[in-house]
Amino acid sequence: MSILFSQELPIYTALVLLVPLYYLYSRVRCRSGNPALVLPTNWPILHMFPSFLANIHNLHKYLTLVLAGSGHNFRAHGPPGTGLRFFVTCDPTNVRHIFTTNYTNFPKGAEFADIFDIVGGSLLTIDGEPSREQRAKVKGALSNPWMAATMASCCCDKDMLPMDAAVALDTFMEVGFSLLMTPSSCWKLMRWLNIGPERKLKVARIVLLEFAAEMMERRKMNPCFVGNEDEQEDGDILSSFLNDPDYADDDLLRAMIIAYMFAARDTVGTTVTWIFYNLAQNPNIVSNIRKELSPIASRKAAVGVDAMSIFEPEETRSLVYLKAVLYETLRLYPAAPLECKTVIADDIMPSGHEVHAGDTIIISIHSMGRMEGVWGEDCLHYKPDRWLSVGGNNMRYVPSHKFLAFNSGPRMCLGKDIAIMQMKTVIASTLWNLDVEVMEGQTIQPKQACIQQMKNVLIVKLKKREM
């Protein structure tokens, strides 16, 4: 034993000395933006863990550079015994295989459900038959006319989430993101000891569960929301589940409330923020949007509508160019920048890479939108026209495995149409009535979290538009 230890001691000593230096070196190389310089180093024992650790503060950019330099796919391992075995991809053919062709082999997985246990039992964490049943229930609720009317009215709703609940949501998004890259033994120990990020999660969990419980009680006390669905004049998804005896478990209902807050509140708000940021850099695109809105505004003015025109969802439904603007923003700034899957059985990807049972697959949606091999040499340019067919009258077909902003296959986003409706209504009403100027001197970069919010708030100046 002493001989073995003496033989390994120089290796451990070298690692202790070299890894901190490499940490600094790797961060500098990432700033160069050259894919050839950022490929992760495979260290003895630690493998690629130092490379990821050095760039966790800017992971989306780092993955984009590495994927660009490695043919859209690469494997990464952490130290032995940590369970960190990743296959990272942004290859559309692999995405189609993972999300559609062989999707049953790539569920969210038990570790994902453990990290986000606060939404356990909701669509965010379940797979298989439970997922299909719950999706059918949500799809049925979203198809009801009263639901569409409620969602439309939300575009003009001034109510905001309480500050403590909003902060708790952000905490879960940021901490949960980092835990996905952390050995499970580490974060489980922190959870048991109630230290580090897990201490923050515990506080956030209490706040969110209390908020969800209060929301449930308000719905149960309001006869307008509980009863015969055919008699409801207004409602929401929660109300439809409260009326279903199959969902009588309060713990499950609280988890579902929080899950829909994750899925709806942050994704729409985040995308709208990125839209305004990009439009401020491209005034010609703003002019094109207003040109598309002009006939609708003229019809509203002819029937005596006030100068401050609030466009209704039905009026914006047919706006093709505005939809192209939304899609172009989501291509470069997807609300959910990463998707994680677990491998059930050994498989071979269409790219030729082998994956093994227990591996974690990371699909970098952020990187996919920035690959020349996927979107062409102008992939980093903000060009809504790329989404338009010849003549510009219709949207060009792009398969979901190439544009993954709304997921793909059996897990396609159920709220896609409603989210598009809400964003189009807000953007149209804002741009027609106001000039939006992004104030100078701001540092604009994405937050490293499950939802790609801006790291800092976007400060804008609003001015009533001169017609």
User: H/E/C letters for each residue in 40-73?
Assistant: CCCECCCECHHHHHHCHHHHHHHHHHHHHHCCCE
Once rounded to an integer, what is the mean pLDDT over residues 334-355? 96
Q: Is the pLDDT of residue 32 over 60?
A: no
Residues comprising the binding site?
Answer: 413
Once rounded to an integer, what is the mean pLDDT over residues 374-380? 96
Q: How far is CA 212 from CA 100, 119, 248, 360, in A?
A: 33, 11, 15, 31
pLDDT tens figures, 378-410: 999 999 999 999 888 899 999 999 999 999 999
Q: Is the pLDDT of residue 36 over 60?
A: no
pLDDT tens figures, 403-439: 999 999 998 998 898 899 989 999 999 999 999 999 9
The pLDDT of residue 448: 84
Domains with residue ranges and CATH for the chain: 1-70 (no CATH), 71-464 (1.10.630.10)
Place of tokens 């298989």: 128
Could you give phi then psi for residue 435, rounded to 5 degrees?
A: -95, 130
Residue 300: how many CB atoms within 10 A of its CB?
Answer: 18
By the 8 A CB rule, do 183 and 83 touch?
yes
Residues comprising the binding site for heme?
Answer: 413
Once rounded to an integer, what is the mean pLDDT over residues 4-10? 43
The pLDDT of residue 385: 97
The pLDDT of residue 95: 98
The pLDDT of residue 9: 44
The pLDDT of residue 164: 87
By the 8 A CB rule, do 212 and 258 touch?
yes
The pLDDT of residue 169: 86
Angstrom distance (rounded) from CA 21 to CA 298: 64
pLDDT tens figures, 144-166: 666 666 665 555 555 667 888 88
